[in-house]
Amino acid sequence: MSDETAEHPESETGARVAVRRRRGADSVRRPRESGIQQGHFPAILRRSLKPIEPLSAEQIEAVHRASLTILEEIGIEFMGRAARDLFARAGARVDHATGLVKIPAALIETALKTAPESFRLTPRNPARAIELGHDALAFGLVAGPPNVHDCVGGRRAGNLADYKRLISLAQTFDIIHLLGNQATAPQELPVTSRHLDCYLANVTLTDKVYHCTAIGRERALDGIDMMAISRGLTREELRDDPGVLTIISVNSPRRFDEAMSDGLMAMSEWGQAVVVTPFTLMGAMAPVSLAAALAQQNAEALAGIALSQLTRPGAPVVYGAFTSNVDLRSGAPAFGTAENARATLAGGQLARRYKLPYRASNASASNVVDAQAAYESQMSLWSSVMGGANLVYHGAGWMEGGLTASFEKVILDVEMLQMMATLVQPFDTSDAELGLDAQREVMPGGHFFGAQHTLARYQTAFQRPLLADWRSYPAWLEDGGKNTTERATGIWQQALADFAPPPLDAAVAEALDAFVAKRQEERKNAQD
């Protein structure tokens, strides 16, 4: 069974009817079972601060023109025949022998006219819907590491048990809005079918938007179908009411492999969100200068965006950026650097120039949860949020340059995500908030601890920390003197001990199990 031809449309089931009946029951968030303190923010977070723009309008246009030169004269390689055929029919110059596609500027402009400025993704719980575009902001869980680490069990290969624990943490913390592609890869499972086990965990242990693996057509369609089942819809009905996304990672420099382009086209064909993300490391997969790397990033992103719109005009698509640098002495990737932050800020300007949603990332190259992990993530988070990112991928848990998912780092990042969410909230300068009555109540030289203005806001005035310890040194020492990483260990342990999966209709659970069993059997037979 080939990735190019296999499709699995859903039949009407009792699960579909059951979900339609109880949709209203899932339309509000369930009370948390955990006693862990966390922030309270709007269901869809919005940025009230203007993005930082380091480049002038003339500089943005210079990058744009250089990108068009790359696209028209130098070309992008598409290894997949289906993608090349689509470009050829649209007027691009295609060399099937080399896979090189040269895309005229007019084709790019036409594609940008149909790409939506914003869109919404709705999971099985509509209250967990996210919006991508304009001033909306969503944070994702770490995605893709082959290893996991915590301070109890140490570093180990990714496995399904740890995968489930990581996504359970994502469900626990409201500031994590969606799941990325496999928080860790369950390496004990067959490569050809492990995505099914991950999808099943996603839709049973969480009720949030999740990522579809787009390595070929079949894996993407499996993820779409399972989201459809969970919502009581058919795949056709999900086409105009999307609920999942994928990341299309460009094999920089200037190459889309066949599996990725086929996955991109499958997602776009069925109306699901595609995030096109070049992996442009300056000095390795891109030229060493920032301007050149931005031009390459832009060309690669525009090529993938054009493919999505050629597949289905109006399909939801996101401009992705992942430009950083390498250590030129060792060749090791570096993240959370000043160069990474500058590229992220500039990438946001390019996305806004094309009126597209923007994806950036929280990343760190640190091998342990230490000061380096904190300041590199703070740099990348700050530049993502203030660069205007709508989707911050790898928002919680990324370690070791993407090789490890860390339980302690999830907690550290949740703390920083909550701080960022507080930072972007709108200011309130109403009469009540200006507090003139409090000034009249408190005499000069007095204090405001007992003022009515303070007492009325005692519980909500400030963002309470999840992880930070603000006590005096003697009080901290008397309570064990635990450092930040040690406190993070206790928090994730408590969160998992308290965790309860969100309610799922029994008929839906049965339908999902049956779908996974059927698809696993089909994939096994295809291998035989």
CA–CA distances in Å: residue 233 to residues 226, 267, 504, 511, 518 = 10, 17, 15, 12, 19
- Strand (E) positions, 199-350? 210-211, 244-250, 255-256, 273-278, 281-282, 317-320, 324-326, 333-334
Tell me the pLDDT tens digit for each residue of 512-524: 999 999 999 998 8
Tell me the pLDDT tens digit for each residue of 47-88: 999 999 999 999 999 999 999 999 999 999 999 999 999 999
How many CB atoms are closer than 10 A to CB 261?
25
pLDDT for residue 197 is more than 60:
yes
3-class SS of residue 360: strand
Instruction: Name residues whose C-beta falls within 8 Å of residue 122's C-beta, 6 or more positions apart in sequence.
Output: 129, 209, 231, 241, 242, 243
Question: Which single residue is written with the structure tokens 């304009």?
Answer: 134
**Does residue 395 contact residue 176 with C-beta atoms inside 8 Å?**
yes
Please calculate the CA angle 439-441-442 and round it to the nearest 5 degrees: 70
The total number of structural domains in the chain stands at 1
Average pLDDT over residues 125-150: 98
Average pLDDT over residues 396-415: 97
CA–CA distances in Å: residue 427 to residues 45, 53, 135, 152, 327 = 15, 22, 16, 42, 41
Q: State residue 528's pLDDT score.
A: 66
Q: State residue 13's pLDDT score.
A: 40
Give percent of the chain above pLDDT 70.
Answer: 93
Q: State residue 218's pLDDT score.
A: 96
- Is residue 172 in some structural domain? yes
CATH number at residue 230: 3.20.20.480
- Is residue 197 in some structural domain? yes
Strand pairing of 100-102 and 93-95? Answer: antiparallel
- Is residue 128 in some structural domain? yes
- Is residue 397 in some structural domain? yes
Rounded-to-integer distance, Cα 62 and Cα 353, Å: 12
Q: Which of 335, 390, 342 is nearest to 362 (CA)?
A: 335
Assigned token pair, 163: 């995968």
- Structural domain of residue 18, as residue ranges? 14-52+113-423
Q: Which of 486, 63, 129, 470 is nearest to 296 (CA)?
A: 63
What b-and-e string marks burial along 324-350, b requiring 16 or more CB atoms within 10 Å of the CB? Answer: bbbeeeeeebbbbbebbbbbbbbbbbb
CA neighbours closer than 13 Å in the CB half-sphere of residue 52: 14
pLDDT for residue 124 is more than 60:
yes
- Is residue 210 in some structural domain? yes
CA neighbours closer than 13 Å in the CB half-sphere of residue 527: 10
pLDDT for residue 15 is more than 50:
no
Cis peptide before 253 (omega within 30 of 0): yes
- Is residue 263 in some structural domain? yes
Tell me the pLDDT tens digit for each residue of 20-49: 434 433 334 443 445 788 888 999 999 999
pLDDT for residue 335 is more than 80:
yes
Q: What is the DSSP letter of 387?
A: T
DSSP, residue by residue, 44-64: SEE--SPPP--S-HHHHHHHH
- Is residue 299 in some structural domain? yes
Average pLDDT over residues 220-246: 98
- How much is the mean pLDDT over the chain? 93
Assigned token pair, 185: 């890869």
Q: State residue 525's pLDDT score.
A: 85
CA-based end-to-end distance of the chain: 11
- Is residue 283 in some structural domain? yes
Does 488 or 28 have the greater pLDDT score?
A: 488
